[in-house]
Amino acid sequence: MQISDDDSGTADPVAVLTAVERTYRSGEIDVQVIKGVDLLVRHGCFTVLLGPSGSGKTTLLNMMGCIDRPTRGEIVVAGTHVNRLSDDALADFRAKNVGFIFQNFNLLSVLSAYENIEYPLVLAGTPVKKRGARVSKLLEAVGLTDKAKSRPGQLSGGQQQRVAIARALVRKPRLVIADEPTANLDSKTGASILALMRNMQRRYQISFIFSSHDKDLIAAADDTIFIKDGAVRSIRRKRTDGEVVKVER
Amino acid sequence: MNDLALAARNLLRNRRRSIATMLALAIGTAAILLFGGYSKNIDYSMQTAYVRTGGHLQIQHSDFFHFGSGDPTAYGISAYEKISEAIRKDSVLGPMVYVVTPILQFGGIAGNYSKGVSRTIAGLGLRAQDQRRMRDWDDFDLQLIFPPSPLERSQADAAIIGTGLARVLHLCEPLKLSDCPEGLQPGKAQGEALPDDIAQLSANEAAATAPTKSNTSNTIEVLASNSRGAPNVAAVQVIAAERQAFKELDEVYLSLHLPQAQRLIYGTETPKVTAIMVQLHHTADIPAAQARLPVVLSASSEGQRLSVLDFRTLYPFYVQSQLLFDMIFGFIYCLIGSIVLFTIGNTMNMAVVERTVEIGTLRSMGIRSSGIRRLFVVEGLLLGVAGAVVGLVCALLIGFIVNHLSLTWLPPGSANPLPLRLSILGEYRMILGTVSGLVVIATLSAWWPARRASRLIIVDALRHA
C-alpha cells in the first residue's frame, strides 16, 4: 500500500491491518466477507468506511474494534497485535483502548444516563470521586446534565446516542468504533450527533472510525475508505490544508 | 454500580417473572421447613414418650438385650440399690441425672378364673413415684401432660393392665372402661373355682401381701415361673387399665409395684431387677453419661457383667421412624430442589435470550466472559436468597398459627393424642440447611444459563434481533 505525500498520523497509526481475511461459515458454505485487506487508520482522525450493504464494513469495524478475529492476517491496534491476545486479554484491551457507539445505542436499560456513562469506569475500578468528576464533565459536554438521572427509556434517540458517545469516551480510548451511528436518527438529530462526535474527536484527540451512508458524515470525515466485495477499493485523505488526495493502492 | 446492584435491577426489569420465580422458591422453602418442623415435632414427641417411660439409658445384664425376653429373671441385677446410689452420688453423673429407678420385667399368665379366661402377659415391676417423676420430663418444652399413674399411692398388690388385656380378661365392667366390648362369654360354667394347686399358691401369696382381700371382681391371678423355674402365683387387684401404644402390647401389658413383682419372681431370695433406668435432664448428655457409667459400674456392680444401652438401641422403632421421616424429608427436599433448579434455570435462560444484545454490548465494553457469567450467577443467587427468606418468613408465620390452634393428632406408636405442633423456630440447623441448600441450588441453576451467556460470540450477540 502506498501512502500519499500527506501522511500526518501515519507514523503512529491507530490501526494497521495486513492481509486480513474473514470467512464465515453459512450452513455448508464458507463465505469470505473480507478478502486480503491491507489498511492503515491514522491516529486522531475522523475516518469513515463507505460501501454498499454486504460489502464488509461492519466486519472490518468489528475486527478493528477487537470484537471479532480475522481468519487470516494481522491486526495491530494501538500498537498491539490484537489477534494474538487471549479472550480475556482482548477484553481487557477493549476496555482500555476501544469505545463503541452502536446504531441502536445499546444503553443498559436498567441504568440511568449517568450510570451508563459511569459503568466502564466502575469496571476499571476507578475511585468514586474521580468517576463522578469524569462523568459530570462528559454529561456536560454532550449537553445532558439535566438528564443524568433519566433511564434510556425516558430519553429520545438523539439523547440516547449522546449518552452512548459519552460512554464510549469515558475511559479516553485510543479508538472509537461507530457502526452507522446516525442511521436510526432523523436528519436533524443525525447532524447534531455528527457535530458532537466531530467536536469530541477534536477535543479529546481520539481516532474515530465509523461506517455510514450519511453524506454529511462522509463530508466531515478526514479519511474515507471505500469498500466493495470485502476489499478496499480506494482511500481518500483530507490534507491539513483541506485538499482531498487519493491514496494509491 | 456493583454486580449485586446491577443484578437486582436486572431482576426488577421483569418484575412479574422474577416474583413468580421467587414465589416458587418461597413456597418450596416453606414446604420443606413446615414438613421439617412437623417431622421434628414427631421426633421430639416420640423421644419424650420413650424417655418418659424407659429413661435415656438402661443398665442391664450384658446378655439381657439379646436373650432376656426368653427368660428375663435369669438376667437379674443384684445390688441395684448400691448401683443406683453410686450413680446419684457420682460427681460427674449426679448433676446430669434426673431419675434413677429399677424395673423388673417378667413373663407369665394372668387369669381371671371367675370368668374362666387367661392370657399370657408381659409384666413390669416398677416404682410408681419414680415413674411419676419420669413422666414430668420435658426437655423439648412440648408441654405434653401424661396423666399420673394410678399405681402411685395404691395398695401393695395393685396392678395396672392394658385396656386390651382388660378386655380379654373381661374386666371392662369392673374397671368401668368405655369402648370396651365384653364379647362372648366363655362356654365353660362361669365362676368355676381355681384349680386346687393354683388356688393354694395364690393363697400363700395373698397371705404375704396382707392388705388385699382376694376374689373381688377386679382380682386376677398372675402366674409366673420363679427364678428357679418353679411356678408361683400372686393375686393382684387391677385398679386401672391404661391404653398402650400398640394393640399387641395393649393385650399383654401388666405393671405392678416392684416389691410385689420381686416377691412373685424371687420369693424369699435376694430380690433383683432386670434393668436400672437412668433418665437424664437432657438428651444431649447421653454421650457423657455413657462414657462415665462404666467407671461408676465397675466400682459398684460387685463384678456383675453389665451393659449400658441408650433408648435408641432399646427402641428400634424410634430410630426407624426417625429414618423414615428423614427419608421423606430428603425426598421432598430433592423434589423441591429439582423444581427450584428448573424454575430458576428457565427464568435465567429467558433472561439470557432477552438480554443477548446487552451481553454483546457489555462484552464489547471490555467485560470478560467470567464477568458475564458472574452477573447471571449473582442474579440466581439473589433470586435464591429472596425466595428462601420469604419462604422462611412464611414457614415461621404458618408454624406460629398452627401451634396456636391447639390441634392434636394420634401418631403411630402413641397411646394418647399429642399436640400437633410445627417445631421450626429454634431449629437453626434445619433452617440454615434448608435455606442455604436452596440458595446453592438456585445459584447452581443459574450457572448453566450464565455459562451459555458468557460463551456468546460478541458479534452474533450484537446482531441478535
Q: Within 13 Å, how many C-alpha atoms sit on residue A158's CB side?
A: 15
Nearest to B364 among A65, A92, A115 (CB): A65
Residues recorded for chain B: 465
- Per-residue pLDDT tens over the stretch B317-348: 899 989 999 999 999 999 999 999 999 999 99
What mean pLDDT is reported for chain A?
Answer: 88
Q: How many CB pairs under 8 A join A and B?
A: 70
Cβ-Cβ contacts under 8 Å for A185 (sequence gap 6 or more): A157, A158, A161, A193
CA distances from B290 to B170, B284, B304, B318 (A): 44, 11, 17, 19
Nearest to A106 among B361, B369, B459 (CB): B361
**How big is the CA angle at A71 (ends A69 and A75), to the nearest 5 degrees?**
50
Please name the residues between 46 and 85 in chain A that touch chain B, using a CB distance below 8 Å. 62, 65, 67-68
Task: Decide if A92 and B368 are in contact by the 8 Å CB cutoff.
Answer: yes
| Nearest alpha-carbon partner for B274 in B73, B443, B26, B82 | B73
φ, ψ (nearest 5 deg) of residue A126: -70, 135
Instruction: Say what the pLDDT of residue B3 is.
Output: 82
Task: Decide if B369 and A119 are in contact by the 8 Å CB cutoff.
Answer: no
Q: Mutate one of B375, B462, B464 to test the A interface: name it (highest A CB count within 10 A).
A: B462
CA distances from A239 to A14, A123, A211, A216, A243 (A): 18, 38, 21, 18, 5
Cβ-Cβ contacts under 8 Å for B303 (sequence gap 6 or more): none
Q: Give the Cα separation of B3 and A218 in Å (integer).
A: 40
Q: What is the DSSP string of B313-346?
A: HH-HHHHHHHHHHHHHHHHHHHHHHHHHHHHHHH
Q: How confident is the model at residue A8 (pLDDT cuts 50, 70, 90)?
A: low
Minimal Cα–Cα distance from B389 to chain A, Å?
25
B84: cell is 443406683
- Name chain B contacts of A62, Cβ cutoff 8 Å: 458-459
Q: Give the Cα separation of A104 and A181 in Å (integer).
A: 8
Query: Which three-class secondary structure string do you get for A152-217?
Result: HHHCCHHHHHHHHHHHHHCCCCCEEEEECCCCCCCHHHHHHHHHHHHHHHHHHCCEEEEECCCHHH
- Name chain B contacts of A118, Cβ cutoff 8 Å: 1
> Is A92's Cβ below 8 Å from some Cβ in B?
yes
A87: cell is 479472550
Instruction: Say what the pLDDT of residue A3 is.
Output: 40
Instruction: Say what the pLDDT of residue B195 is.
Output: 64
Q: Give the Cα separation of B276 and B443 in Å (integer).
A: 53
Element counts in chain B: helices (H) and strands (E): 16, 11
Residue A213 has a CB neighbour count (10 Å cut-off) of: 15
Instruction: Say what the pLDDT of residue B212 is.
Output: 46
- Helix intervals (H) in B143-266: 163-168, 196-208, 247-250, 258-266
Question: What pTM was computed for the model?
Answer: 0.79
Per-residue pLDDT of chain B (465 residues; tens, 9 = 90+): 688 899 999 999 889 999 999 999 999 999 999 999 999 988 888 898 899 989 999 999 998 888 877 777 778 899 999 999 999 999 999 999 999 999 999 989 999 988 888 999 999 999 999 998 998 899 888 877 777 788 888 899 999 999 999 999 988 888 888 877 766 665 554 555 566 666 666 666 555 554 444 455 789 999 998 777 788 899 999 999 988 878 888 999 999 999 999 999 888 888 999 999 999 999 999 999 999 999 999 988 888 899 999 999 999 989 998 999 999 999 999 999 999 999 999 999 999 999 999 999 999 999 999 999 999 999 999 999 999 999 999 999 999 999 999 888 877 666 677 788 899 988 999 999 999 999 999 999 999 999 999 999 999 999 886
> Is A95's Cβ below 8 Å from some Cβ in B?
yes
- Given a contact cutoff of 8 angstroms between Cβ atoms, the answer to whether B317 and B413 are in contact is yes
Q: At what angle do helices B356-364 and B369-403 cross, to 10 degrees?
A: 130
